[in-house]
Structure formats: structure tokens, C-alpha cells
């Protein structure tokens, strides 16, 4: 037996310890006495003698949680297998579809150019044909409706969904969809329509309380959007699952606490699922806001403060590391595409409003040598080529981070996950919140893991 390379053991403030393993995602509370045994055992697991029931019990729990592993297991090879299996799996198809690039907002940090382009019937037909041609090999088909603002073209979403579902039903393919919307015109009637179209999640963004949000996310013409979004959230939160993204940068992070107070005041506290999103200057279009953006290490410190305040106010936002089984996102998967209204195909939705020089293909029949070169670059992206990633203890919950950002870098430079800098603090917050909910200390690894999984399902 040997120690896992992805173990984290840290004191939790009362003399006892917490144990986390990034490979298995296991989490456990450890007494001071158990930690002493663990420390001795992991120094030389192969020769350690379990000469008591307590030591046998500790070894059993360490093995169960993956803190102690077989000598023959190479965790890095196991991650490689998951990574390649996921990225090059062709039994699923994930499409991000922008029915329009029009938008009724003019956000100060938006990375898109708001081209006045709607998806033609010919491009819609080409997407449907793409699904038909792939149907025999598919088990699952998922769509993310994107933009621009996708709710501006509900007619396209309705028509294409009906055609998608017909193909999926005929071929026994699982179908689901999500939508990324600013929420301004997403009222009760539209939410019900989306639900009927198997849209299960709507991601909607707020940038803080009204006085902050309205400056940063105005509608075309300059008027504020906060009040209308809040009114809509009240109507639709019982219909769709709302992931409420709270964008944060150096200019607004202090006001997130006021937003939580307001959400509780208007009855949305337990009806939406808030999370924090770091504002990033992805493209030249949004380069004007670069100075207000946090770098990841700065953000990792601020994130802790924000989560502590949210949890203290009773929000179920205690963040738990998410074990990634495969690639970081859909951008470098062979079975995923982001399709612009003009038919250009991209790997990443950050390129959605770009010209063909960033595209990997075209559903409009356009031929261009660079399509192949771009696709080869995306598919050749490999997190395991970077020594920093191979040696990193949070690799299983990061898998190299954003491919779009990483592909801008050279050599061994990486775009890291904030958890590289704050994982033990994140886990401490989660533990404290979980303990408060349960009203008692958690026990051994099996008990804690079971309770964690139950909470995540909720």
C-alpha cells in the first residue's frame, strides 16, 4: 500500500483534523488520536503494523476513502484514461447554439460584439441534419441555448427543440437543455414554455444590488435591468431551476453581502442557487475592464470572504470541490460544438461572435484551410503535457483549467483553479456549514461521505 498523491490533511481549529482526497472526492473528520496513527501509517504504509483494532479501523477508512491505495495504482494514469475517454467519447453530442447574436443589454464587460445576426432556416436545418447523421451512435444529446440573448428568438428555440425531440425519441436518445439568459424578458409564460421544451436550468446573472447592477448591466438605451429581473425571478423560480451567477471583480465584490440581504427580503433566498463568477477580460472587446479583474490568487482570498458571509446569512452556498471526470469543459471535446447564427462552428462559446479565423468549421458550406488547423489545435490541447499540472494536488478537481485561457499561454504556464490557493479554507467552510445543518459532528469517512452526497443531491 502507498499514500495517495492527492491527500489533504489539515487541522480544523479544535485539535481535530479534516481529511480530503481530490482523486476520490472523499471527506472525513479525524480525531487527534486518529491523525497521529495516520501520520505514522503514511510514513511507510507497506511496513506499518496494525497491532490494534483502532489502527485496523483507521487503515480500513483510509483505504475506503482512497487516502491509502494499492502500490500498483498510478492515479495520474487513471486521470489520463478518464480525460481521454471523456474528451474523445462520441456517444454524446453537446451543442451550444446561439439563435441570435442580438442582445437587449449592453454590459460593460461583455466579450461579445453584438452583431445583428439571427439564425437562418438553412442553418437550423443543417443543425438538425447534424443530429440526424449522429443519431445512431448517440446515447445522449444536450443543448445550451446561448447568445446574444437567446430569449429574443424563442420561435427558433421552439421549432428546433421540437425537431430535436422527435429525432431523440425515434432513436432512444436522452435529451435535455439549459439556457444562458440575462433574464430580462424571461417571465412566467416563457419559463413554462421553456420547461415544456425540456429546458431544466436557466443561468441568470446579477452583478450586485440594484445600484451596482444597473450601472454594469443596463439595457440598450441605458435604463436599469435589476428590478425587472427580480420580478421575473419571483415568477419563474418555481418553474425552472435557476442558477444565479453573481459576477464579481474589484469594483463590486464588497456589495455581494447587500445582494444576499435583498434576495432574502424579496423571498428568493431558498428559491435560486447563487454562485460567484469571476469577471475575466476574455477578448479585445472587453479589454477595457482588465484592470478591475482579479487575478486567480487575489480572487481565491476574496472568494473565501464572500462564501463565509453567504453561509453566515443562511445561504446553502458552502462550496465543495467538484471532482472532474474528464476534461475541464466541453470546449476541447470531440463531441461538442458552439454554433453561431451564421453557421460558423467553434469549440468555445467565447469565440461565438468571432470571424471565421477562430472557427473550426461551417454549417453554411464554407471551406477554409484554417478550420482544420484550429480544430487540430483544440484537439491537441493536453493538460498532461504541463509539468505544473501533472504535479498539482488539485488536478482531479481542475484538470488544467479553462482550455481557452490555457491555449493562449506557452511553455509550462498554466491557468489555475482558485482552489489551488484556498482548498483547505473552502473545505473548512463546507464542514462548518454541514455540521451546523446536521446539528452534530460527523463521524467516520463513510458517514461523512454519505451525508455529503445527500446534501449535493439537494
CB 415 within 8 A of CB 296: yes
Distance CA 298, CA 281 (A): 15
Question: What pLDDT score does 258 carry?
Answer: 95
pLDDT computed for residue 437 by the predictor: 66
The pLDDT score that the predictor gives to residue 233 is: 98
Helix (H, G, I), strand (E, B) or coil at 274: strand
What is the pLDDT, as a whole number, of residue 199?
A: 97
Model confidence, pTM: 0.89
**Residues 147, 114: Cα–Cα separation, whole Å:** 9
**Reported CATH class of domain 75-417:** alpha beta
pLDDT given for residue 456 in this prediction: 46
Please tell me the distance from the alpha carbon of residue 274 to that of residue 315, in angstroms, as a whole number. Answer: 8
**pLDDT per 10-residue tile (average), the chain, 458 residues:** 96 92 94 94 90 91 95 96 93 96 81 76 97 96 96 97 98 98 96 97 96 92 94 97 94 92 95 90 51 86 94 89 87 93 93 86 92 92 91 94 83 82 95 74 46 46
Span(s) in the chain for CATH 3.20.20.70: 75-417
Letter string b/e over residues 402-413, b meaning 16 or more CB atoms within 10 A of that residue's CB? bbbebbeeeeee
The phi, psi pair for 293, rounded to 5°, reads: -85, 140
- Structural contact between residues 371 and 377, judged by C-beta atoms closer than 8 angstroms: no
Specify the pLDDT at position 29: 93
Q: How far apart are CA 97 and CA 199, in angstroms?
A: 13
Identify the three-state secondary structure at position 97.
strand
C-alpha cell read off for 427: 473545505
Residue 113: what pLDDT?
63
pLDDT given at position 286: 40
Give the model's pLDDT for residue 30.
Answer: 93
pLDDT at 443: 44
How far apart CA 31 and CA 80 sit, in angstroms, is 34
Amino acid at each position: 500500500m502507498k499514500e495517495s498523491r492527492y491527500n489533504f490533511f489539515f487541522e480544523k481549529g479544535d485539535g481535530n483534523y479534516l481529511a480530503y482526497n481530490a482523486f476520490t472526492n472523499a471527506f472525513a473528520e479525524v480525531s487527534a488520536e486518529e491523525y497521529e496513527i495516520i501520520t505514522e501509517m503514511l510514513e511507510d504504509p507497506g511496513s506499518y503494523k496494525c497491532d490494534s483494532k483502532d489502527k485496523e479501523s483507521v487503515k480500513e477508512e483510509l483505504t475506503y476513502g482512497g487516502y491509502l491505495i494499492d502500490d500498483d495504482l498510478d492515479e495520474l494514469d487513471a486521470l489520463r484514461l478518464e480525460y481521454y475517454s471523456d474528451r474523445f467519447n462520441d456517444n454524446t453530442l453537446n451543442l451550444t447554439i446561439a439563435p441570435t447574436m442580438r442582445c437587449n443589454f449592453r454590459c460593460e464587460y461583455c466579450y461579445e460584439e453584438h452583431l445583428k445576426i439571427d439564425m437562418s432556416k438553412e442553418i437550423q436545418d443543417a443543425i438538425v441534419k447534424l443530429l440526424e447523421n449522429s443519431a445512431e451512435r448517440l446515447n445522449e444529446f444536450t443543448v445550451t441555448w446561448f447568445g446574444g440573448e437567446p430569449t429574443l428568438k424563442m420561435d427558433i428555440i421552439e421549432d428546433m427543440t421540437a425537431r430535436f425531440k422527435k429525432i431523440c425519441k425515434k432513436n432512444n436518445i436522452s435529451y435535455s437543455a439549459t439556457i444562458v439568459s440575462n433574464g430580462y424578458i424571461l417571465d412566467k409564460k416563457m419559463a413554462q414554455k421553456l420547461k415544456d421544451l425540456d429546458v431544466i436550468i436557466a443561468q441568470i446573472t446579477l452583478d450586485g444590488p440594484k445600484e451596482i447592477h444597473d450601472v454594469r448591466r443596463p439595457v440598450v438605451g441605458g435604463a436599469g435591468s435589476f428590478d425587472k429581473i427580480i420580478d421575473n425571478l419571483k415568477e419563474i423560480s418555481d418553474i425552472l431551476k435557476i442558477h444565479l451567477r453573481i459576477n464579481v471583480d474589484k469594483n463590486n465584490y464588497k456589495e455581494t453581502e447587500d445582494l444576499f440581504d435583498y434576495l432574502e427580503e424579496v423571498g428568493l433566498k431558498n428559491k435560486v442557487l447563487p454562485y460567484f463568477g469571476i469577471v475575466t477580460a476574455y477578448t479585445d472587446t472587453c479589454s477595457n475592464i482588465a484592470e478591475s479583474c482579479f487575478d486567480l490568487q487575489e480572487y481565491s482570498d476574496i472568494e473565501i470572504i464572500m462564501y463565509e458571509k453567504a453561509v453566515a446569512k443562511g445561504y446553502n452556498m458552502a462550496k465543495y470541490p467538484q471532482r472532474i471526470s474528464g476534461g475541464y469543459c466541453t470546449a476541447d471535446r470531440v463531441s461538442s460544438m458552439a454554433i453561431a447564427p451564421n453557421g460558423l462552428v467553434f469549440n468555445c462559446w467565447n469565440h461565438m461572435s468571432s470571424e471565421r479565423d477562430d472557427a473550426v468549421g461551417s454549417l453554411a458550406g464554407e471551406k477554409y484551410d484554417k478550420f482544420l488547423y484550429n480544430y487540430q489545435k483544440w484537439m491537441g490541447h493536453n493538460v498532461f503535457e504541463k509539468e505544473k499540472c501533472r504535479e498539482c494536488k488539485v488536478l482531479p478537481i481542475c484538470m488544467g483549467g479553462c482550455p481557452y485561457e490555457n491555449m493562449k499561454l506557452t511553455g509550462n504556464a498554466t491557468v489555475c483553479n482558485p482552489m489551488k490557493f484556498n482548498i483547505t479554507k473552502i473545505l473548512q467552510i463546507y464542514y462548518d456549514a454541514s455540521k451546523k445543518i446536521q446539528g452534530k459532528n460527523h463521524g467516520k469517512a463513510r458517514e461523512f461521505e454519505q451525508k455529503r452526497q445527500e446534501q449535493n443531491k439537494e
